[in-house]
């Protein structure tokens, strides 16, 4: 059994979820606000210390035409920083439509409160992580 953290990286905030390979499921944890357009490394370090993940899964933003978003390189840099600072293996997964799906499942629209929007980001991280877990299960022939 491995524990993983899922990240939905955004330019102003980062949604985080936790999941396990044994169940193939994830749970939203929190959404952290960036500090001066930089991740809140102190809080990320605390979460990593609390959960002791075996790896991380990070959503990689693509446009619907399969081109990368303008800020995809910032996401790749965040992945390299997670690897370098914490020694984590970081898996990248296509995150297209995860925020829209999170909004749909939670019944929150773009005009939602700050608290609702933060929940959407953490839920999007859950969906990103569960996508990776499902893909790994299929690859191993143990799809949940």
**pLDDT per position as a tens digit, 86-106:** 999 999 998 877 887 787 787
Are 106 and 120 in contact by the 8 Å Cβ rule? The answer is yes
Is a pLDDT exceeding 50 seen at residue 127?
yes
pLDDT digits (tens, 9 = 90+) for 11-62: 899 999 999 999 999 999 999 999 888 999 999 999 999 999 999 999 998 8
- Model confidence, pTM: 0.86
Predicted pLDDT at 93: 92
Instruction: Using CA atoms of 61, 67, 70, 73 in order, give the dihedral in degrees to the nearest 10.
Output: 60
Confidence of residue 141 (pLDDT cuts 50, 70, 90): low
Q: Is 54 helix (H, G, I), strand (E, B) or coil?
A: coil
**Token pair recorded at residue 42:** 């102190």
Q: Which residue range forms the structural domain that includes residue 26? A: 3-140
User: What is the CATH classification number for the domain harbouring 14?
Assistant: 3.30.420.140
| Average pLDDT of span 64-75 | 86
Q: How many domains does the chain have?
A: 1
């Amino acid at each position: 059994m491995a524990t993983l953290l899922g990240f939905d990286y955004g330019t102003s905030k980062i949604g985080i979820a936790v999941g396990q390979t044994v169940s193939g499921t994830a749970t939203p944890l929190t959404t952290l606000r960036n500090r001066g357009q930089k991740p809140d490394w102190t809080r990320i370090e605390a979460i990593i210390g609390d959960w002791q993940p075996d790896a991380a899964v990070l959503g990689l933003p693509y446009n619907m035409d399969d081109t990368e978003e303008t800020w995809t390189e910032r996401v790749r840099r965040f992945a390299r920083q997670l690897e370098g600072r914490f020694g984590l293996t970081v898996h990248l997964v296509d995150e297209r439509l995860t925020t829209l799906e999170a909004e749909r499942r939670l019944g929150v629209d773009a005009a939602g409160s700050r608290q609702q929007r933060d929940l959407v980001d953490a839920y999007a991280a859950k969906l990103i992580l569960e996508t990776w877990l499902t893909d790994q299960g299929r690859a191993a022939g143990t799809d949940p």
